[in-house]
């Protein structure tokens, strides 16, 4: 029962795949796909991973001049900030993360005025203009480490309230959520009751949950981690069956990397519509017409880069 609603991989036609390969060579391009992308996009990509893993891959690809970043807006922005000499293209302009939109520059500035000595930690799921206002960024893979490393007991943290709550539990620090109720609509849909039903069917299964899920999901989890950490946990574990609480796209990578293991999505409709906008045809058009170029004003990019680099110094 590996169920991904309406997203059965149809693959990419030979013709289209060949054209993409040809254009990739001509443009000295690489294709990076987030773990939540459609299976056929993951299969086309040079690398699949989480947003920062992918940005760092791009940094190591010295000969690449162009990066097709198949994901959502803030991820392509991070790749562009970290790879200022390369063209970064987001194949679908309308692939936008609703959680990233929940935080505005004004909200950050107001919070800074209200709490002048409190450091601002922003999850990478923020737009570049917001990253530019942060003291440091974090991902779901290193948020606990980043907050622990700061010489402060109270921290402004945004935009995901669930991640803030999880990091507060792990570090014992006070995290003030910014905004007060930021969330990922896809991860919010997971419910512990559905996991309990699956656990009855598969009593030996381990439950792997993303920290963007609610507390009731975290309480039922055997392991809480980012997509990259969920992938390494599944690979290293001796267990053969897993119930997974994150976006559906991850199942393709998990199954591909662990053919002898079985993965069940904790909620069948855990689909992020923005992550699923991009199709192989969009990748082709993006390469051919060099669209949509991420173009962040230099001053903003520079400040956002500092927030990201501070994170790398820790994590």
- Which residues contact ligand CIZ by CB under 6 A? 34-35, 50-52, 124-125, 139-140, 210, 226-228
The binder of ligand SF4 chosen from 37, 125, 139, 162 (CB under 6 A): 125
Compare residues 12 and 37 and give the one whose CB is closer to ligand SF4: 37
CB of 151 to ligand CIZ, least distance (A): 25
DSSP structural state of residue 205 = P
Which of ligand SF4, ligand CIZ, none interacts with 247 (beta carbon under 5 to 8 A by kind)? ligand SF4
Can you tell me which of 7, 46, 56, 98 binds ligand SF4, judged by CB under 6 A?
98
Give the list of residues 6+ apart from residue 312 with CB closer than 8 angstroms, or none. Answer: none
Residue 124 engages ligand SF4 in binding (rule: CB under 6 A):
no
How is residue 181 annotated by DSSP? T
283 binds ligand SF4 (CB under 6 A): no
Kindly state the smallest distance separating residue 48's Cβ from ligand CIZ, in Å.
Answer: 11
Rounded CA gap, 184 and 134, in Å? 20
User: What six digits make up the tokens of 144?
Assistant: 């606990």
For tokens 């849909």, the residue is 189
Residue 275 near ligand SF4 by CB under 6 A: yes
How far is it, in rounded angstroms, from Cα 211 to Cα 1? 25
**Residue 37 touches ligand SF4, criterion: CB under 6 A:** no
Residues 235-274 that bind ligand SF4 (CB under 6 A): 247, 272, 274
The entry of ligand CIZ, ligand SF4, none that residue 98 binds, CB within 5 to 8 Å by partner kind: ligand SF4
Phi and psi dihedrals of 245, rounded to 5?
Answer: -105, 70
DSSP bridge pairs for 154: 174
Q: Which residues pair with 264 in a beta bridge?
A: 243
d(CA 100, CA 14): 36
Distance CA 35, CA 39 (A): 9
Q: Report in angstroms how near the CB of residue 69 gets to ligand CIZ at its nearest.
A: 11
- Positions in the binding site for ligand SF4 (CB under 6 A): 36, 72, 97-99, 125, 184-187, 247, 272, 274-275
């Amino acid at each position: 029962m590996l169920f991904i609603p309406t997203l059965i991989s149809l693959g990419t036609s030979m013709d289209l795949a060949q054209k993409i390969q040809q254009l990739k060579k001509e443009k000295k391009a690489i294709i990076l796909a987030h773990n939540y992308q459609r299976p056929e996009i993951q299969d086309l990509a040079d690398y699949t991973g989480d947003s920062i893993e992918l940005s760092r891959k791009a940094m190591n690809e010295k000969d690449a001049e162009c990066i097709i970043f198949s994901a959502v807006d803030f991820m392509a922005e991070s790749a562009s900030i970290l790879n200022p000499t390369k063209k970064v293209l987001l194949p679908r302009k309308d692939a936008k993360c609703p959680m990233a939109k929940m935080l505005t520059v004004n909200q950050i500035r107001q919070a800074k005025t209200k709490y002048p000595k409190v450091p601002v930690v922003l999850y990478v799921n923020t737009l570049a203009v917001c990253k530019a206002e942060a003291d440091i960024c974090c991902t779901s893979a290193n948020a606990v480490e980043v907050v622990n490393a700061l010489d402060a007991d109270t921290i402004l943290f945004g935009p995901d309230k669930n991640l803030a709550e999880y990091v507060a539990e792990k570090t014992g620090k006070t995290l003030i959520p910014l905004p007060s109720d930021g969330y990922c609509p896809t991860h919010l849909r997971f419910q512990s009751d559905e996991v309990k039903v699956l656990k009855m069917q598969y009593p030996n299964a381990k439950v792997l949950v993303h920290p963007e899920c609610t507390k009731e999901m975290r309480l039922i989890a055997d392991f809480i981690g980012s997509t990259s950490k969920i992938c390494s946990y599944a690979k290293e574990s001796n267990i053969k069956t897993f119930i997974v609480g994150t976006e559906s796209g991850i199942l393709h990578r998990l199954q591909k990397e662990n053919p002898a293991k079985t993965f069940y999505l904790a909620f069948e409709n855990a689909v992020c519509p923005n992550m699923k906008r991009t199709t192989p045809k969009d990748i082709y058009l993006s390469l051919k017409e060099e669209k949509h170029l991420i173009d962040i004003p230099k001053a903003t990019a520079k400040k956002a880069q500092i927030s990201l680099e501070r994170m790398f110094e820790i994590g």
